């Protein structure tokens, strides 16, 4: 029974199969799809689009909120349906095509995509494909487990395809807070002064005449694929916990800290999980994605409220949250990603942000995206939105990768996503470097001493001391600065052949 989910009765005649809806796409179109870190993505239309692309030349520019689930990026990539992709992805097949130069990937701050669309700095959206819980009496769209860029895609698109997912409980309605900033040059302040505040409406208001097709689905989101905490991630969480306790003791933070943001992935999830046994109370989150750890913190009572743009959970946690969504709803809100990640709001709320680095250098520059300086991993995501504007910007990583063949602490990062100016605290399993108020030469001492793996510590110290003899505010031996990465390419380990 889907009729009661399409409350504007005149739209019921727009219900059709995914394959019929896919006929609306034309080669070269720009398509905005819902979906943010595997949550709230469309489940049927992308597959039908891939079917078409297997039979004819049909390539699109694909924009989403962030990554998609259900192997959608993989399936579309294998069907050769994507020519251009933004602003984020995590799929191995797509990653390969991006790194082969066959798909053009625009790696963007997640807060910026719809700003650029709105100001026509990006090509306009031809079709928006949005997963929904329901369509209201006025033809407005009620999103599902993410908002991402869905609201602006639907508002700005010429045509909208809505996928109504019967798997999503109707009680999701009321979870979302859709606020669209006013247009430049007369932009008003975003009136959000605390994470729990609602400033918009619980649906995406569009002209119902733009809804060209409605497709009915019944499929859960892909479960998150984060791994459980291990010894290293627990050690990282321990260092951070101790640091935050000290900040409270020193009177720089209260026992409820500042609102927290935590990035995607295994390490961030483990770090947040570590707060369950902490003495902090009345914690609030203002983040872009809620992983299992956020729900555990809510369940434990340690956290009182969480604001985000998507909920991406393991299967058991997902089922529990959806089954009891009415219990969680008063403590959760999902916002458009330009609001969850908005620099203005992040700076105002004073967030403690925790994001993951692939590598960082002895002066505190962070690479979160490019393996070996050239090969895209996932993208910068929201990490730049949060880190640059944070009250306290924290980056975490394990000190080594690939069984020790790679040091995550290097003389010079091979690509910079977050400059030294955007990084306050660095943490590995070995310890924590507090960089606040330190000059580059002082930072290097802290980073090498506290964060580097013992197998690489002496080599980093040698590099630093030799560089200091050459002089400079940020001393480097330019000929050797990237030699560690080159050595890994030649020898399979940064330790040398
Ligand atoms: N050089 C090369 N590879 C490295 C590396 C380094 N210095 N450090 C880690 N890796 C590899 C790991 O070996 C692992 O590879 P595998 O998938 O082949 O096993 C992979 O990177 C992921 O590392 P992992 O330790 O499992 O961390 P993660 O799941 O927490 O992900 C990032 C780490 C950086 C890839 C991920 O957090 C990310 O994409 N960040 C950018 C976006 C972001 O921060 N968004 C935040 C707001 S949501």
pLDDT at 314: 93
Candidate from 264, 359, 380 with most ligand 1 atoms within 8 A of CB, to mutate: 264
Q: What is the largest CA-CA distance in the chain?
A: 77
Average pLDDT (299-319) is 96
Q: Quote the Cα angle for 326-328-334, to 5°.
A: 105
Shortest-distance atom of ligand 1 to CA 371: 2
**Ligand 1 atom 44: the closest Cα is on which residue?**
383
pLDDT at 229: 85
Shortest-distance atom of ligand 1 to CA 402: 13
Q: What's the 371 CA to ligand 1 centre distance in angstroms?
A: 9
Four-point Cα dihedral 328, 331, 337, 341, nearest 10: -140
Q: Which of 131, 163, 173, 288 is catalytic?
A: 288
**Ligand 1 atom 2: the closest Cα is on which residue?**
371
Residue list, ligand 1 pocket, CB within 6 Å: 263-267, 288-289, 355-356, 358-359, 368, 371, 377-378, 380-383, 398, 401-402, 406, 408
pLDDT at 139: 98
Q: How many angstroms separate the CA atoms of 467 and 74, rounded? A: 45
Q: What's the 390 CA to ligand 1 centre distance in angstroms?
A: 21
pLDDT at 1: 76
pLDDT digits (tens, 9 = 90+) for 344-398: 999 999 999 999 999 999 999 999 999 999 999 999 999 999 999 999 999 999 9
* Torsion sign, CA atoms 285, 291, 297, 299: positive
Q: What's the 328 CA to ligand 1 centre distance in angstroms?
A: 30
Candidate from 290, 340, 358, 428 with most ligand 1 atoms within 8 A of CB, to mutate: 358
Shortest-distance atom of ligand 1 to CA 356: 37
Q: What's the 187 CA to ligand 1 centre distance in angstroms?
A: 36
pLDDT digits (tens, 9 = 90+) for 95-145: 999 999 999 999 999 999 999 999 999 999 999 999 999 999 999 999 999
Candidate from 288, 377, 400 with most ligand 1 atoms within 8 A of CB, to mutate: 377
Shortest-distance atom of ligand 1 to CA 110: 47
Shortest-distance atom of ligand 1 to CA 386: 47
**Ligand 1 atom 31: the closest Cα is on which residue?**
265
pLDDT digits (tens, 9 = 90+) for 26-84: 999 999 999 999 999 999 999 999 999 999 999 999 999 999 999 999 999 999 999 99
Mean of the per-residue pLDDT values of the chain: 97
**Ligand 1 atom 29: the closest Cα is on which residue?**
265
Q: What's the 444 CA to ligand 1 centre distance in angstroms?
A: 23
Shortest-distance atom of ligand 1 to CA 407: 7
Q: What's the 357 CA to ligand 1 centre distance in angstroms?
A: 7
Shortest-distance atom of ligand 1 to CA 269: 30
Residue 336 φ/ψ, nearest 5 degrees: -60, 145
**Ligand 1 atom 30: the closest Cα is on which residue?**
265
| pLDDT grade for 271, boundaries at 50, 70 and 90 | confident
For residue 478, give every residue at least 6 positions away whose Cβ sits within 8 Å of its Cβ, in sequence order, or none: none
The answer to whether the predicted template modeling score (pTM) of the entire model surpasses 0.85 is: yes
pLDDT digits (tens, 9 = 90+) for 158-217: 999 999 999 999 999 999 999 999 989 999 999 999 999 999 999 999 999 999 999 999
Q: What's the 307 CA to ligand 1 centre distance in angstroms?
A: 24
**Ligand 1 atom 6: the closest Cα is on which residue?**
358
446 is catalytic: no
Candidate from 265, 269, 409 with most ligand 1 atoms within 8 A of CB, to mutate: 265
Q: What's the 27 CA to ligand 1 centre distance in angstroms?
A: 34
Q: What's the 344 CA to ligand 1 centre distance in angstroms?
A: 28
State yes or no: pLDDT of 444 exceeds 90.
yes
């Amino acid at each position: 029974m889907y009729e009661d989910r399409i409350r504007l009765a005149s739209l019921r005649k727009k219900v059709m199969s995914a394959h019929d809806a896919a006929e609306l796409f034309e080669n070269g179109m720009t398509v905005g799809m819902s979906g943010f870190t595997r949550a709230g993505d469309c489940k049927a239309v992308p597959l039908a689009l891939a079917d078409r692309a297997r039979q004819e030349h049909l390539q699109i520019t694909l924009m989403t909120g962030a990554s998609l689930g259900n192997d959608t990026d993989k399936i579309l990539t294998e069907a050769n349906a994507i020519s251009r992709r933004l602003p984020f992805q995590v799929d191995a097949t797509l990653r390969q095509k991006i790194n082969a130069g066959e798909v053009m990937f625009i790696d963007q701050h997640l807060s910026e995509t719809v700003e650029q669309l709105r100001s026509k700095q990006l090509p306009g959206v031809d079709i928006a494909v949005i997963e929904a819980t329901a369509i209201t009496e006025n033809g407005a769209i009620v999103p599902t487990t993410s908002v991402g860029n869905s609201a602006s895609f639907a508002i700005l698109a010429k045509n909208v395809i809505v996928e109504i997912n019967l798997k999503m409980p109707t009680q999701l309605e009321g979870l979302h807070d859709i606020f669209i900033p006013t247009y430049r040059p007369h932009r008003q302040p975003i009136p959000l002064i605390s994470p729990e505040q609602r400033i918009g409406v619980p649906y995406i208001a569009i002209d119902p005449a733009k809804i060209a097709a409605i497709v009915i689905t019944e499929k859960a989101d892909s479960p998150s694929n984060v791994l459980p905490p291990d010894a290293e991630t627990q050690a990282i969480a321990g260092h951070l916990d101790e640091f935050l306790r000290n900040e409270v003791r020193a009177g720089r933070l209260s026992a409820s800290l500042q609102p927290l943001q935590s990035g995607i992935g295994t390490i961030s999830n483990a770090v947040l999980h570590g707060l369950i046994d902490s003495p902090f109370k009345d914690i609030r989150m203002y983040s872009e994605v809620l992983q299992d750890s956020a729900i555990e913190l809510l369940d434990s009572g340690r956290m009182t409220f969480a604001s985000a743009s998507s909920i991406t959970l393991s299967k058991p946690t997902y089922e529990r949250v959806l089954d009891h969504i009415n219990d969680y709803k008063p403590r959760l809100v999902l916002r458009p990603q330009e609001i969850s990640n908005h620099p203005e709001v992040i700076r105002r709320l004073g967030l403690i942000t925790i994001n993951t680095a692939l590598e960082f250098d002895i002066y505190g520059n962070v690479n979160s995206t490019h393996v070996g300086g050239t090969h895209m991993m996932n993208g910068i995501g929201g990490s730049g939105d949060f880190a640059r504007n944070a009250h306290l910007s924290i980056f975490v990583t394990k000190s080594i990768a690939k069984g020790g063949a790679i040091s995550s602490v290097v003389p010079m990062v091979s690509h910079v996503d977050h400059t030294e100016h955007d990084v306050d605290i660095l943490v590995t399993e070995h310890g924590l470097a507090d960089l606040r108020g330190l000059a580059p030469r002082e930072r290097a001492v802290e980073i090498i001493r506290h964060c580097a793996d013992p197998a690489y510590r002496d080599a980093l110290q040698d590099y630093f001391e030799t560089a200091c003899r050459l002089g400079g505010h940020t001393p480097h031996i330019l000929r050797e600065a990237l030699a560690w990465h080159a050595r890994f390419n030649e020898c399979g380990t940064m330790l040398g052949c």
